[in-house]
Structures are given as C-alpha cells and as structure tokens.
C-alpha cells in the first residue's frame, strides 16, 4: 500500500495532545529533542496546558509540529515510507521534513520563527468556518461583506462544504449576517486572520527566514498548500512556503492530489484531517486511532 503523509496544523491543538506518543520510546526521544532545540520546552505545555496559553499562536504552531515529528518517528521506526506528503498550514513544514527537504533542526527553527512573526502581528482580525456552502458562494459572500480597509477573504478550502474565512471583525459579522439560515458560520478560537492579507506585516521576516534556510530536493513529491499540485522542484516549494503565510490553503485540491497517488495517513495526534478527507471522499487513516498502526503493519506484511 502506498502511503501519503498528511500533517495537521495549528487548529488541532488541545491540552493532553501527544500523550499516546510519549508511550513510544522513539516518539518520546523525538519530543525531547524538539524541546532541546527550542528556546523553551513545549511538551509540558501540551500535557498540562493551560489551554489559553497552549492555543496562543507562538505556542500552538510549535506544539502541533512537535507531535507531528514524533509521530513521523514512529512510522519511520516501523519501516513505513511515504510516496507523497502534504501539510495543512504550518503542517507543511513537517511535510517538507518528512520528504527530506528540511533538516529536523531547520524545521523546528522555522516553525518557531513563523509562530513568533505571526504572533507579533497582533490581533487584527479573526476566522470563521462556513459550513454547507460551496466555495464559490462563500467567495461571493466575502466580497459582499468587505469594504475598503475592512476585508474578509476565503482562507482555507478545507473540504466540500467546509470553508474558512479570515478578516476584520466587522466584515466577519457582516458575512455571517448575509449567510442564509441553513448555513452554519462558526467563530474559530484563533488570534488573527491567518492566510489573508492581514498577515502581510509578518511576510518580509518570513520570506527572509525561508530564503536563508537550505532546502534540499525532496525524496518524494510535496503538495504545497497554495498550489495543490505535487512537485519536487525546490524553487517552487520555497516560494509556496513563503506565499502560504498570506495565501489561501487549497486543502480540498491537496487531498485529491494525495489520494490520486496513495492512501492518506494523518501523521500526528489529530483526527481533523482524516475527517476532512472523508468529507472529500478521499482515503485517510489517523495515527490517533489505535488500530491504524496495526492496519499499516498488516498491509506491509501482506
């Protein structure tokens, strides 16, 4: 069975994450190594919280990456190899490491830099999930809700009928008011309008950090968020990684690209991407499901 590794992003953070990973020596060692590479240990915060501190951008992005990298270590120990990789938002950095394009140390450093830059932007907006509408209709609502200086844009195309918008509070409220009663608009517990032009103040520093980091040719194709197309071209991957800070995450297209090559495995401590894949009628297994590793082992043995 060919495997496609899908790495979750910041929205999957919760207190207690990584508990099953710490029961595996190879994963525990990887978590400890990430703590060593950071200027502050993140795994104690994952284990005990408090939640309001854990979900803060400067901590959440590093926390989910630590779990992603630990779960990857488990798969590597068991002899599994990906045929294609992708990551949701900050998860793209974990995917680049899994493909051999980034060293572990550079991955952790870039995630820390990204988190700090995005947190430094301050609270300029928010995000809301719009459920039950095609992306084209959400785009129309976003345009109608925007006024000069107060934008709202589609930030994440997560799955059919699951779209996330980013914008200033007034525009988000206006979009919710324009939606039909049958449409569910849910505020997300995030500190800013990620994947939107409102994150532009963080872009120069992020671009500088990415361009200063060695990016190697990946062993397997990587599907960037902003294109949804598999590639091994280093220049394309570098520019896509920079562009996704303010650009739209084309996750529905990304999942379709991975599904065309392999069975997806959500690598980390989350079932969010598995649920999104199923909404898109794509194959995906979550490592948070205790049966997944047994199923993968049987597939290899067969």
Q: Confirm whether 286 is a catalytic residue.
A: no
Which residues are 222's β-sheet partners?
Answer: 85, 231
Q: Residue 124: how many CA atoms within 13 Å on its side-chain side?
A: 21
CA dihedral in degrees (122, 125, 130, 134; nearest 10)?
-100
Among 224, 263, 217, 229, smallest CA distance to 240 is for 224
How far apart, in whole angstroms, are the C-alpha atoms of residue 6 and residue 16?
21
In degrees, rounded to 5, the angle at the alpha carbon of residue 204 between the alpha carbons of residues 202 and 87 is 65
User: Roughly how many angstroms between the first and final C-alpha of the chain, as a whole number?
Assistant: 9
- The catalytic residue among 59, 80, 89, 94 is 89
What token pair was written down for 128?
Answer: 């809301």
Q: Is the dihedral of CA 132, 133, 135, 139 positive or negative?
A: negative
In degrees, rounded to 5, the angle at the alpha carbon of residue 54 between the alpha carbons of residues 192 and 104 is 95
- The catalytic residue among 80, 88, 162, 195 is 195
In degrees, rounded to 5, the angle at the alpha carbon of residue 225 between the alpha carbons of residues 185 and 197 is 60
Q: Confirm whether 88 is a catalytic residue.
A: no
How far apart, in whole angstroms, are the C-alpha atoms of residue 275 and residue 283?
10
Catalytic annotation, residues = 89, 195
């Amino acid at each position: 069975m060919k495997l496609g590794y899908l790495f979750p992003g910041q929205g999957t953070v919760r207190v207690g994450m990584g508990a099953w990973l710490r029961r595996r020596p190879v994963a525990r060692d990887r978590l400890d190594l990430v703590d060593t590479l950071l200027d502050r240990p993140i795994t104690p915060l994952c284990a005990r919280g408090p939640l309001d501190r854990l979900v803060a951008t400067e901590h959440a992005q590093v926390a989910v990456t630590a779990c992603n990298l630990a779960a990857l270590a488990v798969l590597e120990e068991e002899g599994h190899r990906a045929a294609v990789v992708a990551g949701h938002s900050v998860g793209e950095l974990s995917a680049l490491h899994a493909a051999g394009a980034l060293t572990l140390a550079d991955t952790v450093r870039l995630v820390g830099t990204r988190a700090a830059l995005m947190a430094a932007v301050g609270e300029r907006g928010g995000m809301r999930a719009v459920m039950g509408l095609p992306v084209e209709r959400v785009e129309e609502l976003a345009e109608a809700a925007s006024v000069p200086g107060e934008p709202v844009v589609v930030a994440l195309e997560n799955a059919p009928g699951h779209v996330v918008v980013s914008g200033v509070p007034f525009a988000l409220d206006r979009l919710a008011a324009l939606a039909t009663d049958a449409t569910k608009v849910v505020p997300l517990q995030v500190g800013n309008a990620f994947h939107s032009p409102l994150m532009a103040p963080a872009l120069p520093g992020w671009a500088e950090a990415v361009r200063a980091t060695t990016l190697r040719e990946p062993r397997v194709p990587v599907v960037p968020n902003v294109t949804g197309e598999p590639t091994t071209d280093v220049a394309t991957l570098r520019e896509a990684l920079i562009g996704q800070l303010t650009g739209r995450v084309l996750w529905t297209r990304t999942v379709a690209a991975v599904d065309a090559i392999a069975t997806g495995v959500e690598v980390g401590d989350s079932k969010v991407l598995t649920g999104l894949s199923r909404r898109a009628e794509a194959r995906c297994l979550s490592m948070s499901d205790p049966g997944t590793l047994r199923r993968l082992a049987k597939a290899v043995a067969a």
